[in-house]
Amino acid sequence: MSKKIQAIRGMNDLLPDQSPLWQYFEGQVRTLMSRYGYDEIRTPIVEQTALFKRSIGEVTDIVEKEMYTFEDRNGDSLTLRPEGTASCVRAALEHGLLHNQTQRLWYQGPMFRHERPQKGRYRQFHQIGVESFGLEGPDIDAEMILLSARLWQQLGLSEHVTLELNSLGSAEARAAYRDTLVDYFESHYELLDEDSRRRLTSNPLRILDSKNPDMAPMLADAPRMIDHLDAESRDHFARLTAMLDAAGIGYVVNLRLVRGLDYYSRTVFEWTTTALGSQGTVCAGGRYDGLVEQLGGKPVPAVGFAMGIERLILLLDTLELVPDEARGELDVYLLPMGEATEPAALLLAERLREALPTLRLQLHCGGGSFKSRIKKADRSGARLALLLGEDELAENAVTLKFLREDREQRRLDQDALAETLTSLLAGETLA
């Protein structure tokens, strides 16, 4: 036998037993987006490398060491998208979606980052992202947060996630703060670890993110962005928090929250959970008022966020919050009990599907002995089996067998079958 080829490390197959939960989650999101008036956008998975370098930032972890970049056959440098915001801006600019109009968009799909795989962190992962363009005030920031909070509520996750919030100020205020911070770190150079020394010139704000306990006391005394905010950003942040207070959304102001992508200004936020170990950020985003201009457009204010689908699915599983409808179980397994009734069973299955559009019915195909047919019915996970033998066929009937309950089997009239199944599946007992 030749050696089997395996999937790439950190890139997962989504197997049939998991897909109903994904579909449930995606369905919840799709409905929510339309309820808030957001339109879906789909962009290619591959973009020119320059797009991500210019938007995410040359000295971020993503661009420095995590991108899947390759030359295509023309010699162009292409990259598998590590996130969706840059592509969204590129597409909106390219198609004139930002000319004197506002946009509220959402997208979903795979993203690629060459990170060290672990629970909740993969090299191909999936995001649902939301972006708005042309809206400057904190009302849209608040709406985005409320939208995500409503999703947690629908999924039963509200008590298991915490909202962390910060403001990074305007680009100018951040540049001034950066200088203050560099001065501070330089005066404590001996306390910086190697990583932080490297970041001192490239990305000093990220030093604040360091998890190194030896640096914690020095970081605690570092100058705080919040004290260096420009007046407009301070006002924006105050109005945002007032709106969240009024809406009853709890949050923690985390002055260390800086995010790992360079395009943010003003509001940044993350929803985190403690139930997933170290990869606890399930949703994150913020305002990026400078990005459209940076990518060649006129200045357009923008804000957005993205959530990691794998992490949210893991969370639902871990907390046992998977509702029955997300288990994808069959209602009915219909079995012809021999070759002679196979054509009639096929037609009966279609008749039932016609009459009951939400019924989940699987037809037994492939023959087999009586015993193996019954075994398959049981393994199908269906609640009910319908047996169609030659006797039943002659009487225009079927035999109903309860697969999950200890109840007597019984004959049912085919003409009343749709009605009977509806009552049974609604949990009613039969007369």
Query: What is the 8-class DSSP label of residue 64?
Result: I
138 versus 308: smaller Cβ distance to ligand HAM: 308
Q: Does 121 bind ligand HAM (CB under 6 A)?
A: yes
With beta carbons less than 8 A apart as the criterion, state whether 42 and 106 touch: no
CB of residue 276 vs ligand HAM: minimum separation in angstroms? Answer: 10
83 versus 143: smaller Cβ distance to ligand HAM: 83
CB of residue 95 vs ligand HAM: minimum separation in angstroms? Answer: 19
Give the binding-site size for ligand HAM (rule: CB under 6 A). 26
Which residue in the set 24, 108, 131, 266 belongs to the binding site for ligand HAM (CB under 6 A)?
A: 131
Which residue in the set 135, 284, 361, 374 belongs to the binding site for ligand HAM (CB under 6 A)?
A: 284
CB of residue 168 vs ligand HAM: minimum separation in angstroms? Answer: 12
CB of residue 146 vs ligand HAM: minimum separation in angstroms? Answer: 16
Residues in the chain: 431
Q: Interface with ligand HAM by CB under 6 A: which range of 79-87, 205-213, 330-338, 397-405?
A: 79-87
Q: Does 84 bind ligand HAM (CB under 6 A)?
A: yes
Q: Does 83 bind ligand HAM (CB under 6 A)?
A: yes
274 is annotated as contributing to ligand binding: no
24 is annotated as contributing to ligand binding: no
Distances (CA, A) of 377 to 186, 278, 361, 386, 401: 71, 42, 11, 9, 10
CB of residue 419 vs ligand HAM: minimum separation in angstroms? Answer: 46
131 is annotated as contributing to ligand binding: yes
CB of residue 303 vs ligand HAM: minimum separation in angstroms? Answer: 7
Contacts for 174 with CB less than 8 Å, ≥ 6 apart: 168, 205, 225, 265
259 is annotated as contributing to ligand binding: yes
Q: Does 307 bind ligand HAM (CB under 6 A)?
A: yes
**Tokens read off for 405:** 């309950």
Which residue in the set 138, 204, 304, 336 belongs to the binding site for ligand HAM (CB under 6 A)?
A: 304
- The CB-based long-range contact list for 235-244 (8 Å cut-off, 24+ gap) reads 236/137, 236/138, 236/167, 236/266, 236/267, 237/138, 237/167, 237/266, 237/267, 239/137, 239/138, 240/138, 240/141, 240/142, 240/165, 240/267, 241/165, 243/138, 243/139, 243/142, 244/142, 244/145, 244/165
CB of residue 355 vs ligand HAM: minimum separation in angstroms? Answer: 43
CB of residue 302 vs ligand HAM: minimum separation in angstroms? Answer: 8
- The CB-based long-range contact list for 182-189 (8 Å cut-off, 24+ gap) reads 184/222, 184/223, 185/222, 188/218
Continuous H helices in 337-389: 342-355, 370-379
- The Cα 377–Cα 363 span in angstroms is 9
Q: Does 281 bind ligand HAM (CB under 6 A)?
A: yes
Contacts for 57 with CB less than 8 Å, ≥ 6 apart: 63, 203, 261, 262, 263
Which residue in the set 43, 55, 60, 85 belongs to the binding site for ligand HAM (CB under 6 A)?
A: 85
Which residue in the set 25, 106, 122, 133 belongs to the binding site for ligand HAM (CB under 6 A)?
A: 122
- The Cα 107–Cα 366 span in angstroms is 41
Which residue in the set 157, 282, 314, 398 belongs to the binding site for ligand HAM (CB under 6 A)?
A: 282
Continuous H helices in 203-355: 216-220, 231-247, 291-294, 309-318, 342-355
Q: Interface with ligand HAM by CB under 6 A: which range of 182-190, 197-205, 306-314, 334-342?
A: 306-314
**Tokens read off for 268:** 């940044």
User: 3-class DSSP state for residue 9?
Assistant: coil
- Binding residues (CB under 6 A) for ligand HAM: these are 83-85, 113, 115, 121-122, 125, 127, 129, 131, 261, 281-286, 288, 304-308, 310-311
Annotated binding residues for L-histidine: 83-85, 113, 127, 131, 259, 263-264
